């Protein structure tokens, strides 16, 4: 059996990014069952079973791949405010994402619009640049999700095309690995 990878704790001025725990289920489900949160992602609020599967998938990414998603906490209150990370979902999409970690972010409605997602994504990408050998990271965003598209551009992603995924058009972004120390 392969060893489990330790999930690093990342801190920023306002945030702590840490591994998911069993007691995060309430936060995960609250986030992913909120229609305003998922409107540009799946358009369908998650059931408790889907949220549980998501929590387990996050742990599996770290255990098997050495990267994954973090819980985003407010450093002052330790409150669960979102999730940010990298994944390999084996998506059936052209162009293929194979070999390129896929970045993603989702924040609770009351944590949006304050630059917290940008702060968290920057921390994750800095960690990825130092710890993952992939030359590029990717992300896909619904065309109408202007806030996420602005965020992607702000953290170094560049639009590389449009694709169909699960019957919907998505904008594909790529970001080269930074070699800055």
Give residue for tokens 């609020």: 45
Backbone φ, ψ for residue 8 (5° rounding): -70, 150
pLDDT in tens, the chain (181 residues): 344 678 999 999 999 999 999 999 999 999 999 888 888 787 788 999 999 999 999 999 999 999 999 999 999 999 999 999 999 999 989 888 888 999 999 999 999 999 999 999 999 999 999 999 999 999 999 999 999 999 999 999 999 999 988 888 999 999 999 866 4
Rounded to whole angstroms, how far apart are CA atoms 178 and 173? 15
Q: What is the pLDDT of residue 96?
A: 87
Q: What's residue 178's pLDDT?
A: 84
Q: What is the per-residue DSSP string for 74-143?
A: ETTT--EEEEEEEE------SS--TTSPEEEEEE-GGGTTSSHHHHHHHHHHHHHHHH---SEEEEEE-T
Provide the pLDDT for residue 167. Answer: 85
Residues 27 and 30: their CA atoms lie apart, in Å, by 5
What are the beta bridge partners of residue 86? 103
Q: What was the pLDDT predicted at 94? A: 86
How far CA 115 is from CA of 12, 41, 111, 137, in Å, comes to 12, 20, 9, 21
Residue 62 pairs with which residues in a beta bridge? none
Whole-angstrom distance between the N-terminal and C-terminal Cα of the chain? 34
pTM of the prediction? Answer: 0.93
């Amino acid at each position: 059996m392969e060893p489990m990878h330790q999930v690093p704790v990342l801190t920023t001025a306002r945030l702590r990014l840490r591994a998911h725990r069993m007691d995060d289920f309430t936060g995960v489900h609250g986030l992913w069952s909120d229609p305003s949160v998922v409107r540009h992602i799946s358009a369908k609020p998650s059931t408790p079973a889907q949220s549980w599967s998501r929590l387990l998938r996050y742990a599996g990414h770290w255990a098997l791949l050495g990267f994954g998603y973090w819980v985003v906490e407010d450093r002052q209150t330790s409150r669960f405010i979102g999730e940010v990370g990298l994944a390999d979902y084996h998506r059936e999409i052209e162009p293929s994402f194979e070999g390129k970690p896929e970045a993603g972010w989702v924040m609770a409605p009351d944590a949006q619009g304050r630059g917290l997602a940008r702060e968290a994504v920057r921390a994750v990408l800095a960690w990825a640049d130092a710890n993952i050998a992939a030359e590029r990271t990717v992300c896909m965003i619904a065309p109408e999700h202007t806030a996420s598209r602005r965020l992607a551009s702000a953290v170094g992603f560049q639009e590389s095309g449009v694709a169909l995924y699960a019957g919907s058009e998505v904008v594909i972004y790529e970001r080269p690995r930074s070699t800055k120390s």
